[in-house]
């Protein structure tokens, strides 16, 4: 592999649009959390999947259950969220949309409102502490909790969208794709859309979700998470591909997550090139950088080495993610300016735009 690609990917300004808070907790933070709760007897091997290992998606969802035991109070959540934001910034991420599912923890008195407020507080504190990153929050609906909880979560997200000064911008639909059906959640998602919340929905992460994906596309979502089984070659359909292309709905693609969670056989067989070659907006993301032992710069390196992307292609990929974000227009313009100041771009502009129009 090109030796320069690693430092290049780290220094490249990046946009992260698909990161679950509790799946993004690093080894170092996990150690602090484990030390706070020795009685749980949790070993680090229970909270992350290491390089070269693979688990089924089902086993991945067991890992989240363990992590939730470790992050069950306001203090834990504030500490974990701040650390995750700092780590993304240290990896060169300049804009982050963090998603998380509000939870009730009766033992510690954590409520769903307190949960959302704590994540917002973590984002505010990082800003005050001048961490170099703009962070927004997507409130997540866990599909296994059914339509009533989904509706409740939409109301919560709407309240905070109106009172968080732009921090809450949208909603995510996630959770075990084998549980529940999107049709039951459609009214809640429709309501979210009608009140101005953006929608980033996990879709076709596993096979056999063709019908559900057709339904969810009627909303339509503003972005799609994974979309692994949308195209006909893997059991999806032309109709799905057509609708996604027609709506120009960006895909959030998480290479390592899909390999480690065994929904994709190998990096070479990932669906990234399918959509990339069509010129469809594709955004590289981490999904759960803690659980899958990765980072966004590592995902860019993997895309470079697997699909033969050069530095210019990587820069374009990261720059195009800006327009796929749910950031306000003024922030998008600020980000565009920052990207244009990247050394690679300055070289091109000195070349009087010979390479790029």
Residue found by looking up tokens 């500490």 in the block: 79
The least distance separating Zn ion from the CB of residue 254, rounded to whole angstroms, comes to 7
User: What does DSSP say about strands 134-142 and 93-100: parallel, antiparallel, or unpaired?
Assistant: parallel
Residue span binding Zn ion (CB under 5 A) among the ranges 24-32, 75-83, 267-275, 279-287: 279-287
Strand partners, 20: 99
| 26 binds ligand 6MZ, rule: CB under 6 A | no
3-class DSSP state of 94: strand
Catalytic residues: 205
| 23 binds ligand 6MZ, rule: CB under 6 A | yes
Binding site partner of 212, from Zn ion, ligand 6MZ, none, Cβ cut-off 5-8 A by kind: none
| 287 binds Zn ion, rule: CB under 5 A | yes
Rounded Cα distance between 48 and 44, Å, is 7
Q: Give the nearer residue to ligand 6MZ in terms of CB position, either 101 or 298.
A: 101
Give the number of other Cβ atoms within 10 Å of residue 352's Cβ: 7
Q: Give the nearer residue to ligand 6MZ in terms of CB position, either 92 or 177.
A: 177
Q: Give the nearer residue to ligand 6MZ in terms of CB position, either 8 or 229.
A: 229
Rounded Cα distance between 132 and 262, Å, is 34
Contacts of 95 (CB under 8 A, 6+ apart): 15, 16, 133, 134, 135, 322, 325, 327, 331, 335
| 123 binds ligand 6MZ, rule: CB under 6 A | no
The least distance separating Zn ion from the CB of residue 225, rounded to whole angstroms, comes to 5
Site string for ligand 6MZ, 45-74 (x = CB under 6 A): ---------------x---x----------
Q: Give the nearer residue to ligand 6MZ in terms of CB position, either 258 or 301.
A: 258
Residue found by looking up tokens 């109070």 in the block: 73
Helix or strand holding residue 60 (H, E)? helix 57-70
Report the residue from 22, 26, 153, 213 that binds ligand 6MZ according to the rule CB under 6 A. Answer: 22
Q: Contact 286/255 with Cβ under 8 angstroms?
A: no
Binding site partner of 263, from ligand 6MZ, Zn ion, none, Cβ cut-off 5-8 A by kind: none
Q: Contact 287/140 with Cβ under 8 angstroms?
A: no
| Site residues for Zn ion per CB under 5 A | 287
| Site residues for ligand 6MZ per CB under 6 A | 20-23, 60, 64, 100-101, 140, 142, 174-175, 202, 205, 257, 261, 287-288
């Amino acid at each position: 592999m090109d030796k320069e690609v690693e430092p290049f990917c780290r220094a490249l300004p990046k946009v992260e649009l698909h990161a679950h808070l509790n799946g993004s907790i690093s080894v170092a933070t996990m150690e602090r959390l484990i030390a706070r709760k020795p009685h749980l007897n949790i070993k680090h091997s229970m909270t992350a999947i290491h390089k070269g290992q693979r688990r089924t998606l089902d086993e991945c969802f067991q890992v989240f259950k363990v992590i939730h035991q470790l992050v069950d109070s306001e203090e834990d959540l504030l500490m974990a969220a701040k650390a995750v934001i700092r780590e993304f910034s240290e990896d060169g991420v300049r804009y982050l949309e963090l998603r998380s599912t509000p939870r009730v923890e009766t033992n510690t008195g954590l409520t769903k409102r307190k949960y959302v407020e704590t994540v917002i507080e973590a984002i505010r504190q990082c800003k005050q502490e001048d961490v170099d990153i703009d962070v927004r929050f997507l409130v997540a609906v866990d599909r296994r909790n059914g339509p009533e909880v989904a509706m409740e979560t939409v109301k919560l997200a709407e309240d905070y969208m109106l009172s968080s000064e732009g921090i809450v911008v949208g909603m995510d639909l996630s959770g075990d794709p084998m549980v529940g059906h999107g049709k039951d959640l459609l009214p809640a998602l429709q309501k979210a859309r009608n009140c101005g919340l953006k929608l980033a929905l996990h879709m076709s992460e596993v096979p056999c979700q063709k019908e559900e994906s057709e339904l969810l596309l009627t909303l339509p979502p503003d972005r799609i998470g994974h979309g692994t089984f949308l195209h006909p070659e893997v059991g999806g359909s032309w109709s799905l591909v057509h609708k996604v292309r027609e709506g120009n709905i960006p895909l959030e693609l998480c290479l390592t997550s899909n390999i480690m969670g065994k929904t994709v056989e190998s990096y070479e067989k990932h669906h990234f090139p399918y959509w990339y070659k069509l010129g469809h907006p594709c955004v590289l993301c981490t999904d759960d950088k803690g659980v899958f032992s990765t980072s966004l710069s590592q995902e860019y390196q993997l895309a470079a080495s697997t699909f033969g992307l050069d530095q210019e292609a990587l820069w374009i990929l990261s720059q195009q993610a800006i327009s796929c974000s749910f950031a306000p227009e003024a922030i998008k313009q600020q980000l565009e300016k920052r990207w244009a100041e990247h050394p690679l771009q300055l070289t091109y502009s000195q070349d009087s735009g010979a390479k790029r129009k």
